[in-house]
Structure 1
Amino acid sequence: MEIAVIDYKGGNVQSVIFALERLGVQATLTADHDVIRRADKVLFPGEGEAASAMRELQAQGLDKLLPTLTQPFLGICLGMQLLGQHSEEGGGTDLLGVLPFDVVRFPASAEYKVPHMGWNTLSQLRSPLFAGLQEEDYVYFVHSYYAPVGQYTIAQGQYPTPFSAAVQHENFYAVQFHTEKSSTVGTRILENFLNL
């Protein structure tokens, strides 16, 4: 099985590759369009902010390529947010437009700090991506922005408002949390993705 991990100079890419290696899977870190097109599965991890990530995707022509892919695709953290239409981050950034959501910032309060960082539960699981998992399983989040709950939502989180912890549209799956930092739950989600 050929696995492509998108190289757009974003953070956290190496830990996703290590997580795949622990599952016995070799992945190729690449921005090469031909390698990405012929891969059996594509992973799109990310840390950082939307505007600089989109600039790098545009510089490599990946902003045009990624929405056209037809194989199973998994966005992680920023890789999920970039699948939306528009982000409030950085004064406003147009995104890849794969999914019909806008990314908005969590409101800060005395009780709920921004960023939302640490372990939180999942609920409303409805996808083969979560096979073998339970409602209220914990995963690891680090984010200040989120996608609201919509028809594309396949798992929810709460902080303090409900938000999309995972989304899906056709072959595009994405999670707001870090699978590679989410212990056995994250490992199971990666295994489920590889088995789609």
Structure 2
Amino acid sequence: MTCAIIDYGSGNLHSAEKSFQRMRREAGGPEITVTSDPEAVLRAERIVLPGVGAFADCQAGLMAVPGMVEALRQRVESGTPFMGICVGMQLLATVGREFGDTPGLGWIPGAVTALQPSDPALKVPHMGWNELHIDRPHPIFDGVEPGEHAYFVHSYHVTPDDISHRLAHVNYGTKVTAAIGRDNIVGTQFHPEKSQRTGLRVIANFLNWAP
């Protein structure tokens, strides 16, 4: 059994791999592999899609790996647990509205829109620690207490069409989506690999999640 972290030229793969490897040792779960091989993805029991940067650049990078989107789609449709991180989460939406409209994977209907805090003193990008508010209980948040903090670096966030797909939010002059999910798919806008105890708990939960 393997958990495939997708390498498509975007994402902090080293820290993500290190955190996933640590939690596999501590909490169990499948072997961790970083791969750009669609065949390896088709064999994987879990999939993680990281992402850092602009939505369009990440989508272009993913599409540029021959067969990767098709392999991801096949595994997701077969029920394989899937986790998107930061822009990897945003790619789950229908469309990204950063520098024009770019189609996303469309697995969780909604749009990726610019942060617009009501307080002009709040800077964009939203960068640093913020308090998580859980909107809907989900296994990836097992053991995460209300009010725990996670680490964010972003200027855009997912606005889901169906509010029940929003698992958690933070307050930053408005409600900002912190996690989304449906069926066998989850995504976090925050970086679990940089969120210390809270993030490591989320990673461990994902590695042992049985949707």
TM-score range, shorter chain: over 0.9
Which one has more relative contact order, counting CA pairs under 8 Å at least 6 apart? 2
Could you tell me which of 44, 65, 68 is aligned with 1:39? 44
The equivalent of 1:68 in structure 2 is: 74
Q: Any idea what SS the aligned residue of 1:89 has?
A: coil
Structure 2 unmatched ranges of 5 or more: none
Q: Contact 1:54 / 1:63 at 8 angstroms: preserved in 2?
A: no
Letter in 1 for 2:186: Y
Matches within 5 A, 1:32-181: 32-60=37-65, 61-69=67-75, 70-107=79-116, 110-123=120-133, 124-148=135-159, 150-181=163-194
Range that drifts further, 45-54 or 179-188: 45-54
Q: Does 1:191 align with 2:197?
A: no
Query: 1:99 & 1:68 partners in 2: Cα distance?
Result: 16
The equivalent of 1:22 in structure 2 is: 22
TM-score normalised to structure 1 length: 0.94
Structure 1 unmatched ranges of 5 or more: none
Count of aligned pairs:
196
Query: 2:81 & 2:187 partners in 1: Cα distance?
Result: 10
Q: Percent identity?
A: 38
Deviation at 1:148, TM superposition (A): 2.3
C-alpha root-mean-square deviation of aligned residues, in Å?
1.5
TM-score normalised to structure 2 length: 0.88
Query: 1:164 & 1:64 partners in 2: Cα distance?
Result: 27
CA deviations 1:44-78 (Å, max 9, x no partner) are 11111111111111111323332332211111111
Q: Contact 1:148 / 1:162 at 8 angstroms: preserved in 2?
A: no
Range that drifts further, 103-112 or 12-21: 103-112
Query: 1:160 & 1:138 partners in 2: Cα distance?
Result: 17
